[in-house]
Chains A and B, each alone.
Chain A
Amino acid sequence: MTNRISIGRRDALGLGLATGAASLAPRRLRAQEKEVKIAMLVPLSGPWARQGILEQMGARMAIDDVNNAGGIKALGGARLRLIEYDTGDSAEKAKDAAQRMIAQEPDLVGGFGCWLSTFTLAATEVTERAQLPWLTLSYSDLITGRGYKYIFQSSPTADSQAEELLPNVVELAEKATGKRPTKVAFIGDNSAAPVSFMKAIREHVLANTKLTSVADEVYTPPLADSTTMVQRIRAGRPDFVVFQSTNVPDDKLLVDKFAEMGLSGAKLPKVGGGGHWCVPELLKVAGAENLEGVLVGLANWPGKAVEDVSKRFVERTKEPWFGHDSVFAYAHVMILKEAVERAGAAERQKVAAGIRQLDMKNEGPALFFPDGTLKYDEKGRRVGAKLCIVQWQSGRPVPVHPESIAASKVSWPKVS
């Protein structure tokens, strides 16, 4: 995908028109000979729309890259086409949209989505029954815990992230300061992901990491006022605090409140989790100063291996960086393309088999994951999926862990 074929706007328009004309031809014929359809079902409206749009940008760019590079070679250069659906703002709407997608697009070979675990759980009830291979970045363990055969989860699951985050953070802190933190405070909401995350933490991760919890605050989102919770955390004098919030407005309120109480990054290290902690909006609303030093554990972040794609993405979309949501979408399009190539047919069963057979290391789509591995186990979980950690440094999220993607050293204040 690094060999870029330049294509003019006029040619692209011509291609577009050709595609349009092709769409008038009988559907079955078109699908088999000219076009391979994959679906993207993400929130394009409602509170999670921004994340969906970031996925959309990554996916559209990937589609263009595939088609500009000659389409799907195994199918005689068939073009890849992205069919976009909106999950809306609730599980039942997501499920309805999935049903609509399956009904209206009978020749889909695969798809990906829906960002929010709740939506993914609902939508995959439909895609599984339709035997449509489905890739997702959602974290919930439930998604691949139902014994389904057509769902592939590229992220480390929420449980494994819970296992990894604290030990990794403690290690990074020790590396940076030579001193091991011992006291931690938590503040998070009571939605599904934080609840399962905190369950693991409380049950054994704390003990295993030799950390003491000095405060454990839970709220119902959206957060209205965090003053009393932040006061209690301050009173516990933790070495660092872990946020388990799930949306940008709550993230902003939290970092603002800590700054207001004199606990900025230089005084109290903070650790957040999830893609929403690394979106440009957060920078806009919370400001670089309050975000400085915040560590974010998330499921993926583009590293040096895909620097070229990162650059082109920024040029193309005018977004400040190529992040978690976009890189997953880009990777998922590429994985589906790879699977179609291997299947040699635009049939969802064969494409699913193609995905199951994938076993790539440091090549092709595998490069879009920090561990450089592309292989799904029998549950559909990506083997070797590892937590990434990025840190807000001077108004940019910079990857600091694992080594393969680290672009900078972690900065950790030396607390007395």
Chain B
Amino acid sequence: MRQGASTRLRRDGIVLAAVSILYLAISAFVTNSYYQLILTLVPIWAVFGASWNILSGYGGQLSFGHASFFGIGAYTVTLALVYWNLTPWLGIPLGMLMGAIAAVIIGTPTFRLRGHYFALSMLAYPLAILYLLQYLGFQEMSLPMHRDHPIAYLEFTDQRLYTLVATLLLVAGILACMFVENSRFGLALLAIRQNELAAEAAGINARQWKMRALITSGIIAAAAGGLYACVLLVVTPDSVFGLLVSAQPVVVTLFGGVASVWGPVIGAAILVPLAESLNAQLGNIVPGIQGVVYGAAIIVIILAAPDGLYWTIRDRWLRGAMPALPPPLPAAAVPTRTYSEVTSMPLLQVGNLSRSFGGLRAVSQVSFAIQPREILGIIGPNGAGKTTLFNVLNGVLAADEGSALLAGEQMLGRKVYQVCRMGVGRTFQVVRSFPRLPLLDNVVVGAYGAGLPDRAAVAAAEHALHQVGMLQLATRQAGQLTNKQLRLMELARALAGQPRLLLLDETLAGLGRDECDEVLDVLATLRDEGMTIAIIEHTMHAMMRLADRFVVLDHGAVLATGLPRDVVEDRAVIEAYLGKKFLARQNA
């Protein structure tokens, strides 16, 4: 569990208990079977929204085809009941199993795609299944009525019992979401949503976490679908695999609040009764107008609250009222990762490393070494191949040739998160933070990435914050930090994984002179404490102060290496930076 999770869990748990008891109490007094049906549908759609929220809200993997899992749940329950006379009490768990299997089958090829391509291919699955079911002749499946033991077949004459079952399912779904949100699972997903590459560089196995998210999501969606079939009594491919079904969880979650356990609940609690009452009130006067009004209402509210109601309300009115998180505990003993002692040889030995993009040799036959406890400055004009070099070193790009040995071990050919786990931390030119999460959570991602268990991860994150001098800000939301603090936060995130080599990409970019000096002090201290650092930087005065040695790249090749003083006087370097004319004028 994450830092402060127990407080959050207790608070959310109390709200959940209160809301569900209140809801059931209200539903107990509703005798009108139609209103009761609405009360049953609200939790079902909320559960479906919650399942979508895990993959697409926390994980940022937008799915327009969640009806696949919902429909699979519904059809499993229906077909099992029709052909095997299997009660939905067992049919729903069976459907959940099918949902998990479907998630693996769907996720395996689809996670190769990212962004819009992922979203669009997810859309294809329910449509394909829809036609498949039509082809197989399952257009209209009616759930047979059991007059003898209705309750054993999840058939109730008293509609309120459906509401009870749906509410219990919702409670289970929300508990699952609360667990996700408050564990490393949720944090890993948030990190992936922010920047999949940065998450991998922090040691997170993005593919594995995404797959876990899809499976969890598929299981929950299938449960919602299974229960929906029991309430609907007639299942058609369109009613459980249709486009509108896929849209429903997206709409309720975007409306209520993405990446919050309460978002889908708020969305469903408002939209489902709204749609139904429009059907009931307007639909009888002007048939069809209810859809127009419903659409307009969604547009207006999304315009007014683009992050969803939950976040808008929280940000606008409850900022002061949010209970402050407890200050971080006194730093526990920090478990340090032990690495084999490297003294005799360089920590990183790069030999003949090359990487081309078509005809362009971005990195060409690059060789250099970094000694332990050294700060190596990698400089060069724009387009010299500095960032590409880092990308090849930490596994984002594959090398065409060459080798890179970290303490004698080959780094090349490994995945990004595996390189991270070898003890290589990396920061990026553009900072990726989770603005709504406290600073500590932003940093603890790096510790989780390194595979530390919960308590050790928090201790490591706190230690890292201490190293960059920001421990006192641990509970502040990242969205309120300054640019310098964000840079240091990213440095802390890399440090939390307890690396032995840091690859820093333009950590000083966009900082003022004074801010720059502060960051330099932090880096110098890190070196004194035994850290080895390779840093890409443009600010020459800063590099002169900081680096022990320079590697100068130009057009992908090493132009010069050596002590800073020698390198900046090297004619080839001056030429690369300032041009031949400048050099000629100097000589004149």
Q: A-side interface residues toward B, CB under 8 Å?
A: 44-46, 49, 84-86, 88, 90-93, 95-97, 99-100, 102-104, 117-118, 121-122, 125-126, 128-129, 140, 142, 146-148, 190-192, 195, 220
Given A86-B283, A104-B34, A190-B134, A45:B234 Cβ within 8 A: no
How far is A8 from B433 in the complex, measured between Cα atoms in Å? 77
Docked-complex contact A99 and B140, CB < 8 angstroms: no
Docked-complex contact B238 and A97, CB < 8 angstroms: no
How far is A100 from B290 in the complex, measured between Cα atoms in Å? 15
Docked-complex contact B140 and A84, CB < 8 angstroms: no
How far is A122 from B229 in the complex, measured between Cα atoms in Å? 11
Docked-complex contact B288 and A45, CB < 8 angstroms: yes
Would you call B280 an interface residue if the criterion is a C-beta within 8 Å of the partner chain's C-beta atoms? yes
Docked-complex contact A103 and B33, CB < 8 angstroms: yes
Would you call B139 an interface residue if the criterion is a C-beta within 8 Å of the partner chain's C-beta atoms? yes
Docked-complex contact B233 and A86, CB < 8 angstroms: no
How far is A147 from B242 in the complex, measured between Cα atoms in Å? 29
User: Which residue of the partner chain A has the closest CB to B240?
Assistant: A92
Docked-complex contact B37 and A44, CB < 8 angstroms: no
Docked-complex contact B142 and A146, CB < 8 angstroms: yes
Most buried by B among A93, A117, A148: A93
> Contact string, B360-391, partner A, CB cutoff 8 A, digits 1/0?
00000000000000000000000000000000
CB distance from A146 to the nearest CB of B (A): 6
Provide the residues of chain B in CB contact with A126, threshold 8 Å.
233
Would you call B453 an interface residue if the criterion is a C-beta within 8 Å of the partner chain's C-beta atoms? no
How far is A84 from B287 in the complex, measured between Cα atoms in Å? 11
Given A91-B239, A121-B140, A121-B142, A44:B287 Cβ within 8 A: yes
User: Which residue of the partner chain A has the closest CB to B157?
Assistant: A129
Docked-complex contact A142 and B142, CB < 8 angstroms: yes
Given A84-B284, A99-B37, A92:B232 Cβ within 8 A: yes
Docked-complex contact A192 and B34, CB < 8 angstroms: no
CB distance from A5 to the nearest CB of B (A): 30
> Contact string, B71-106, partner A, CB cutoff 8 A, digits 1/0?
000000000000000000000000000000000000
Most buried by A among B232, B233, B242, B276: B233
How far is A44 from B284 in the complex, measured between Cα atoms in Å? 9
Provide the residues of chain A in CB contact with B244, threshold 8 Å.
90
> Contact string, B178-193, partner A, CB cutoff 8 A, digits 1/0?
0000000000000000
Provide the residues of chain A in CB contact with B157, threshold 8 Å.
129
How far is A85 from B35 in the complex, measured between Cα atoms in Å? 16
Docked-complex contact A91 and B236, CB < 8 angstroms: yes
Docked-complex contact A220 and B34, CB < 8 angstroms: no
Q: How many A-B residue pairs have CB under 8 A?
A: 93
User: Which residue of the partner chain A has the closest CB to B245?
Assistant: A92
How far is A412 from B403 in the complex, measured between Cα atoms in Å? 85
Docked-complex contact A88 and B283, CB < 8 angstroms: yes
Given A103-B33, A103-B34, A90:B239 Cβ within 8 A: yes
CB distance from B444 to the nearest CB of A (A): 44
Given A190-B135, A192-B139, A195-B137, A95:B233 Cβ within 8 A: yes
CB distance from A144 to the nearest CB of B (A): 12
> Contact string, B539-556, partner A, CB cutoff 8 A, digits 1/0?
000000000000000000
Would you call B532 an interface residue if the criterion is a C-beta within 8 Å of the partner chain's C-beta atoms? no
Provide the residues of chain A in CB contact with B344, threshold 8 Å.
none
Contact with A86, one of B32, B234, B284 (Cβ below 8 angstroms): B284
> Contact string, B134-160, partner A, CB cutoff 8 A, digits 1/0?
110101101111000000000001000
Given A103-B33, A103-B34, A104-B34, A95:B142 Cβ within 8 A: no
Given A99-B33, A102-B34, A220-B131, A91:B280 Cβ within 8 A: no
Docked-complex contact B284 and A85, CB < 8 angstroms: yes
How far is A45 from B291 in the complex, measured between Cα atoms in Å? 10
How far is A95 from B239 in the complex, measured between Cα atoms in Å? 11
Query: What are 18 A-B pairs at a CB distance below 8 A?
Result: A44-B287, A44-B288, A45-B291, A49-B287, A88-B283, A90-B238, A91-B232, A99-B34, A100-B279, A103-B32, A103-B35, A117-B140, A118-B140, A129-B157, A142-B140, A148-B145, A190-B135, A195-B139
How far is A149 from B352 in the complex, measured between Cα atoms in Å? 84
Q: Can you name 20 extra interface pairs (CB under 8 A) apart from A97-B283, A121-B142, A195-B134? A: A44-B288, A86-B287, A90-B238, A90-B242, A91-B238, A95-B232, A96-B276, A96-B279, A97-B279, A99-B33, A102-B33, A104-B280, A118-B139, A118-B140, A125-B142, A140-B140, A190-B134, A191-B134, A192-B140, A220-B134
Provide the residues of chain B in CB contact with A220, threshold 8 Å.
131, 134
CB distance from A100 to the nearest CB of B (A): 4
CB distance from A246 to the nearest CB of B (A): 12
User: Which residue of the partner chain B has the closest CB to A190?
Assistant: B134
User: Which residue of the partner chain A has the closest CB to B242?
Assistant: A90
Provide the residues of chain A in CB contact with B287, threshold 8 Å.
44-45, 49, 86, 88
User: Which residue of the partner chain A has the closest CB to B32?
Assistant: A103
How far is A102 from B234 in the complex, measured between Cα atoms in Å? 18
User: Which residue of the partner chain B has the closest CB to A46?
Assistant: B288
Provide the residues of chain A in CB contact with B37, threshold 8 Å.
96, 99
How far is A100 from B41 in the complex, measured between Cα atoms in Å? 14
User: Which residue of the partner chain B has the closest CB to A189?
Assistant: B134
How far is A93 from B139 in the complex, measured between Cα atoms in Å? 17
Provide the residues of chain B in CB contact with A49, threshold 8 Å.
287-288
CB distance from B508 to the nearest CB of A (A): 59
Most buried by A among B33, B232, B242: B33
How far is A93 from B238 in the complex, measured between Cα atoms in Å? 12
Provide the residues of chain B in CB contact with A125, threshold 8 Å.
142-143, 233-234
CB distance from B529 to the nearest CB of A (A): 64
CB distance from A302 to the nearest CB of B (A): 26
CB distance from A200 to the nearest CB of B (A): 13
Ranked nearest first, the 6 interchain pairs of A and B with the lowest CB-CB distance are A45-B288, A103-B34, A45-B287, A44-B287, A125-B233, A192-B139
CB distance from B464 to the nearest CB of A (A): 52
Provide the residues of chain B in CB contact with A45, threshold 8 Å.
283, 287-288, 291
Provide the residues of chain B in CB contact with A96, threshold 8 Å.
34, 37, 276, 279
User: Which residue of the partner chain A has the closest CB to B244?
Assistant: A90
How far is A96 from B276 in the complex, measured between Cα atoms in Å? 8
How far is A323 from B157 in the complex, measured between Cα atoms in Å? 39
Provide the residues of chain B in CB contact with A44, threshold 8 Å.
287-288
How far is A192 from B137 in the complex, measured between Cα atoms in Å? 8
How far is A220 from B140 in the complex, measured between Cα atoms in Å? 16
Provide the residues of chain A in CB contact with B137, threshold 8 Å.
195
How far is A324 from B275 in the complex, measured between Cα atoms in Å? 33
Docked-complex contact B239 and A92, CB < 8 angstroms: yes
CB distance from A248 to the nearest CB of B (A): 18
How far is A190 from B33 in the complex, measured between Cα atoms in Å? 35
Which B residues between 1 and 59 are near A, CB-CB below 8 angstroms?
32-35, 37
Most buried by A among B131, B139, B157: B139
How far is A192 from B237 in the complex, measured between Cα atoms in Å? 11
How far is A129 from B145 in the complex, measured between Cα atoms in Å? 9
Provide the residues of chain B in CB contact with A190, threshold 8 Å.
134-135
How far is A330 from B107 in the complex, measured between Cα atoms in Å? 54
Contact with B279, one of A93, A103, A146 (Cβ below 8 angstroms): A93
How far is A90 from B245 in the complex, measured between Cα atoms in Å? 12
> Contact string, B274-297, partner A, CB cutoff 8 A, digits 1/0?
001001100110011001000000
User: Which residue of the partner chain B has the closest CB to A199?
Assistant: B137
Given A99-B33, A128-B145, A191:B139 Cβ within 8 A: yes
How far is A258 from B254 in the complex, measured between Cα atoms in Å? 48
Docked-complex contact A146 and B145, CB < 8 angstroms: yes
Which B residues between 209 and 268 are near A, CB-CB below 8 angstroms?
232-234, 236, 238-239, 242, 244
> Contact string, B95-125, partner A, CB cutoff 8 A, digits 1/0?
0000000000000000000000000000000
Provide the residues of chain B in CB contact with A84, threshold 8 Å.
284
User: Which residue of the partner chain B has the closest CB to A140?
Assistant: B140
User: Which residue of the partner chain A has the closest CB to B34?
Assistant: A103
User: Which residue of the partner chain B has the closest CB to A193?
Assistant: B139
Provide the residues of chain A in CB contact with B283, threshold 8 Å.
45, 86, 88, 97
User: Which residue of the partner chain B has the closest CB to A146?
Assistant: B142
How far is A261 from B296 in the complex, measured between Cα atoms in Å? 45
CB distance from B32 to the nearest CB of A (A): 5
